[in-house]
Structure 1
């Protein structure tokens, strides 16, 4: 960490991505004084009012805001209560008169502090750029995978005063998921600035609802945004927040004056009434507003009747730096006055208020989508993460916890949640999140299970974990749930017509018979058959292989376009091509060797800078098309599968082109892999971009597996590296002179080092006892067993 003094500000540079609870030790103060602290992954965020936030997508057990203000009155320790999930930069600005001297500026880490140069898994070679790129995924996984209990409870519960809630995206009760046209009453007391609450807020994502905020007369901080948060008023909005944040649409619809001065430390009774198409708010029986929601437009196509819906749960939060108490919550049907909810908010047990509102500390370890944003367990994004873990951090305990959480949230239909949150208990919340209160998309209700093809990627995450670890106990324990999940998918194969999988939606590509989702399902069927064989579920293994055979025939019959030399993206888009289709149709084995060669030749139609767009549906002349390290990462595995000189050149070019920008610019580099990249090599979604995203870390496992050449043997025999393969051919195709790597296996550490000199390769392998392997290079094959150290040379 480095600290620079700039006029009345300190600039703190952490070097790489960090996460935790900020703290400051004050040496002396002449004041009182106030400081404004900003946190950001990208340096330029410190120049913006909201830094690189806010992040109101989910509660996420972290500070919604990336700016917070502290008043300092005396020397001593100041500890921030709310977590900052990920940052590299921090600024501390004195915003009042007076002076303050810091003895230290620090973080209490919320993730295990690791040195990526000293992980259980490692990789290095004679190309220093590749060495730094390998570290990107390792660091992203290390700060995105969190220990049990490390993400602390966000509300403080007082048996007398109720819930003390700091400014945050509102925590929502699961018990209100199916409420509609209700009246909500509660007592509140402002501690700082004001308080916020939401109504008609669906648990199902995309979770957008009615936003309300009561702004007090006294604004204690000099940097308070009094234009947006006008004192003695109530803000009325819809969406995620009151301000837009890139993809998180928000509408500040109106501001209404409160007919009296709203004082600090004074209890008020707030009443919100949802009545058909109207909403009203009163305080202590004094009317503040009563309006028709049809007067406000948030996009006419969003709702069936063009009116903001009054269906969904409620919760409590606040704007940046606000804080206050809530208690005595009471809700009833507006029309017939029937009580539907009552809670004093005074139960301070772990199974009380904080559990119901989703603000309880994480009771299990979890691998999140990213440390600063989208801090959810994204089902489909975990595939890259578990592979990265297998070649770097070896935190298989956190990977297993993540998979266990997914099956804990599974619904009776077999569907897994696509993004379960951290702070809720699945026993209480799974049904509410799956079906509780719908959002709207293009006039249609959308419930919690979206992106159905993420179910496929979730299955692949499970099978990848089993393949790496040989954790057959976990496979047996959860098998019925994964079987049920796969059954949902195979039930959507149109066996009476095309024989192809069709889903109600998809991320990977077209959902109706698309080649990407069908080839991904083929890979999942094959992998599940291997796991079934390992745990002696023979009938399942046989069934999956039979389905795989018929699906392979359907894919090649219906989707192969001989003229293009590619699989069509779908039957309705025969001339379209996609990166995911190319990747999964190769790695699943749907494409023959000859077809795979032709597939890779079509990549030029997808090439932009710094590499490949997702599909031909995106215009190559559009400078705003984003490049995804996630989808390009799947392509890396497809290139490895070919293992030719041509694919080696393509592999090296792709890795260098797309991932070098992540390490080359000090202001945007976090030492971790990014979420998206634009065509100029910058963060693809601007400040909103997650600059520590394991889904972008594919080179970490590809370099270990393909360049150093360590991988498991195919099939069940390779589970846990019981049998392994060392094949450095791709490293030679990429022009390297030496490489070394190690991985943690179910039986111990497996290491390899190879070095080329004057046409001779010297190879050293250290292997766990009771394992066997094969060394393959060109026409040379060596069977290695019965020992734990092997050293030999191979003439090229």
Structure 2
């Protein structure tokens, strides 16, 4: 099985570039492309399809080789091929400021030959199209992306896996490449606003970026100056920092001299102010938006002319109309304000003044003419190396979703700086009660006034606190970074105490009040078992840094919680853990996974619960819970939650079932027939549709989401059999295990794996089954020690850097 890999080259100044593997020129998008070469767009062949082979990210560039006269070219970006046939590409992504273009379509006015570069990055895509909009011919000798992610290929990462099953090799790369694409270095995601000392901030093709200082405001009047450079200006009020807002789009007269040929005047009619509620003026799959009204401006709105706008919001009046006239707009008139520009539009903003509508007192004032506004409005260059949820969408630092990414990094990229930076950025968002923000945006300074972000609703999904704590443990486990763990320990203890305070004195189970992702937030098996695993993990770190008092406390609380789960949530008739005390007739993937990996389930319960999973089997994987429809064509399979099952299966004598899940669910993400070639990006997906085995949320699906890459670390740790020893002894791979039995059970004849250790070098194994014997060659730092295990036999290894072990099968 072969992937078409785009090449990487070095440009002037030493920066890396991603260049295409293929191009096709015609009248519509083409799935099959030829090797990339100089191409021309003309009246008869106006569209080029450009294929990068796998997920790429960066600032788009184009080298114009020749043109007959000035032309306009529309460029689309998409992870999935079908996005090139959509008017909006596979976007837009306007639910949060993500330090990149909010849109997946941008238009260029080309007036001369030479290099042309977009000012806003595109975070992740495999496909690109270029469509000539106007008369004339134009040829391009080069296109690509100035890389904003590490250009390293999976084959060149510090961590490695390979075996004699090529499908498993490609599956391992999915998570490795997804982590590489989602994790970004400090300073690579540049500021998205420009600041002019006279005209103020300049925004283009961006969701309104919000001042965190406005998150608690209500019943206010917002005043500002705006000067439209092209198309219009866009601002929001009563907005959360990520999610729904009331947005207003001020479209100018759209003069012929600056108007692009592809402007949608139905969506953005000239000389109007359009009012919407949601995240945009167009719907996204899971984020509906509503155009509430369109108001005509009774005079032509000129470009490059500064004007003053005032919008009154006092809970009863918007443009002299009642809020009750718009039942689809459910949000209260409370929240932040911000400024941006719609697709291909450009505008300046300055002299912002917010005052109390009732008494006229000043609430906020800023000229927007100094660079300090970048941090306030979340538009500054990223100040920390962090891992995002995904490169094209959800470009936020998600707390709970990092749980798989953290482990993938340990067996592939070994980027401790990025993993530590992610966790530090989350710690910087901690509020007084101990909670961490579940999804901070990377353009803000989270050290400043995190309580402001709390007001804006950035702390829901309480069980993400559990998953974040487990991620912290898993990072320390592979990195051995106990020094940083000790340095930040007081903050983690605040979070742990917050978790402990949510264990009910009545039921002995976890009870959250602000939502849960894994399952029921009150007395649920998934959340309660995840809490046991989080507390056990915290106890291990406490022991590693010498805080035995805290370690004992966390073990005791965890054991008490486990006892309550064991006694109250096991459904003997069902043969598994019930979803919650109030829902004992249902069960879930997450509940099964965490109740096993946390050690709550007994050996007998584990066997029964794993057998019971067959009732959840649907399509290529397992549906999330037994009360989810098996016939609804929109039912999705989550590689994320299915990933929680893999350690439970492989660690408890169900490796045959586990390897079947790896092959069935993750193979659909690889190239294959024509339909699979349209969706393969070389990276792991967010969701898979149970019926079609394609992307689970249509074009909205992230096809590069490391939360869906659990198979990567499972292949290293269980199929190759290379993993750290249990407990603190295994931190940083000081003690390790090589156990090839699972791989041999899966039918492999050979496998090899390599990981970086905290002890001055790599740890690697190559094993091969031959003539009734398995031979393993192990390389390890001399200061580490380990054991080789096979079928009940254990051989201890220490004091050397190379070991050769042979045992009979």
Residue equivalent to 1:450? 460
Residue equivalent to 2:295? 256
Deviation at 1:429, TM superposition (A): 4.3
Whether 1:583 aligns to 2:593 is yes
Whether 1:686 aligns to 2:698 is yes
4+ runs deviating over 2 angstroms: none
Whether 1:698 aligns to 2:710 is yes
TM alignment of 1:350-429, pairs within 5 A: 352-429=372-449
Whether 1:237 aligns to 2:246 is no
Q: Distance in 2 between matches of 1:3 and 1:394?
A: 34
Deviation at 1:92, TM superposition (A): 0.4
Whether 1:524 aligns to 2:534 is yes
Contact 1:608 1:620 in 2 (8 A): yes
Return the match for 1:103 from 130, 136, 141.
141
Return the match for 1:500 from 509, 512, 537.
509
Cα deviations across residues 247-274 of structure 1 (Å, max 9, x unaligned)? 1121101111110111111111111111
Whether 1:463 aligns to 2:463 is no
Q: CA RMSD in A?
A: 1.0
Deviation at 1:294, TM superposition (A): 1.2
Cα deviations across residues 593-650 of structure 1 (Å, max 9, x unaligned)? 11111110101110100110000110222221100000001101111111x3xx2221
Return the match for 1:211 from 247, 252, 262.
247
Whether 1:661 aligns to 2:668 is yes
Deviation at 1:174, TM superposition (A): 1.1
Q: Distance in 1 between matches of 2:778 and 2:146?
A: 40
TM alignment of 1:156-305, pairs within 5 A: 156-203=194-241, 205=242, 207-218=243-254, 220-280=259-319, 290-298=320-328, 302=330
Name structure 2 gaps, 5 residues minimum: 1-19, 27-44
Cα deviations across residues 82-102 of structure 1 (Å, max 9, x unaligned)? 110000000001011111111
Deviation at 1:112, TM superposition (A): 1.0
Q: Which moved more, 1:687-696 or 1:335-344?
A: 335-344
Cα deviations across residues 304-323 of structure 1 (Å, max 9, x unaligned)? xxxx5221111101210000
Q: Distance in 2 between matches of 1:40 and 1:341?
A: 40
Whether 1:20 aligns to 2:58 is yes
Whether 1:795 aligns to 2:804 is no
Return the match for 1:713 from 725, 728, 732.
725
Deviation at 1:125, TM superposition (A): 0.5
Return the match for 2:655 from 641, 648, 661.
648
Contact 1:151 1:361 in 2 (8 A): yes
What SS class does the counterpart of residue 793 from structure 1 fall into? Answer: strand
Deviation at 1:779, TM superposition (A): 2.4
What SS class does the counterpart of residue 279 from structure 1 fall into? Answer: coil
Q: Distance in 2 between matches of 1:450 and 1:257?
A: 39
Residue equivalent to 1:439? none
Cα deviations across residues 109-128 of structure 1 (Å, max 9, x unaligned)? 10110111111000001110
Return the match for 1:564 from 574, 578, 582.
574
Whether 1:738 aligns to 2:763 is no
TM alignment of 1:325-340, pairs within 5 A: 325-340=348-363
Q: Distance in 2 between matches of 1:330 and 1:621?
A: 54
Q: Distance in 2 between matches of 1:471 and 1:109?
A: 29
Residue equivalent to 1:313? 336
Contact 2:315 2:323 in 1 (8 A): no
Contact 1:727 1:777 in 2 (8 A): yes
Provide the aligned length of Structure 1 versus Structure 2.
Answer: 761
What SS class does the counterpart of residue 666 from structure 1 fall into? Answer: helix
Q: Distance in 2 between matches of 1:699 and 1:427?
A: 35
Q: Distance in 2 between matches of 1:181 and 1:562?
A: 55
What SS class does the counterpart of residue 678 from structure 2 fall into? Answer: coil
Name structure 1 gaps, 5 residues minimum: 281-289, 303-307, 437-446
Contact 1:167 1:195 in 2 (8 A): no
Deviation at 1:276, TM superposition (A): 2.8
Deviation at 1:729, TM superposition (A): 1.2
Q: Distance in 2 between matches of 1:740 and 1:60?
A: 38
Contact 1:28 1:102 in 2 (8 A): yes
Deviation at 1:572, TM superposition (A): 0.8
Q: Distance in 1 between matches of 2:274 and 2:559?
A: 59
Cα deviations across residues 190-216 of structure 1 (Å, max 9, x unaligned)? 11111101111123x5x3111101111
Q: Distance in 2 between matches of 1:209 and 1:469?
A: 41
Q: Distance in 2 between matches of 1:150 and 1:648?
A: 41
Return the match for 1:671 from 682, 702, 725.
682
Contact 1:174 1:428 in 2 (8 A): no
TM-score by structure 1 length? 0.95
Deviation at 1:428, TM superposition (A): 2.5
Q: Distance in 2 between matches of 1:328 and 1:544?
A: 52
Q: Distance in 2 between matches of 1:148 and 1:685?
A: 31
Q: Distance in 1 between matches of 2:458 and 2:76?
A: 33
Residue equivalent to 1:148? 186
Contact 1:409 1:430 in 2 (8 A): yes
Whether 1:139 aligns to 2:177 is yes
Q: Distance in 2 between matches of 1:652 and 1:398?
A: 30
Residue equivalent to 2:787? 774
Whether 1:729 aligns to 2:749 is no
Residue equivalent to 1:90? 128
Q: Distance in 1 between matches of 2:122 and 2:59?
A: 6
Cα deviations across residues 351-409 of structure 1 (Å, max 9, x unaligned)? x1111111001011110000000000110000100100000011111000000001111
Contact 2:63 2:115 in 1 (8 A): yes
Contact 1:721 1:771 in 2 (8 A): yes
Cα deviations across residues 312-341 of structure 1 (Å, max 9, x unaligned)? 111101210000111111111111111111
Deviation at 1:183, TM superposition (A): 1.2
What SS class does the counterpart of residue 693 from structure 2 fall into? Answer: coil
TM-score by structure 2 length? 0.93
Return the match for 1:574 from 584, 593, 617.
584
Q: Distance in 1 between matches of 2:392 and 2:376?
A: 24
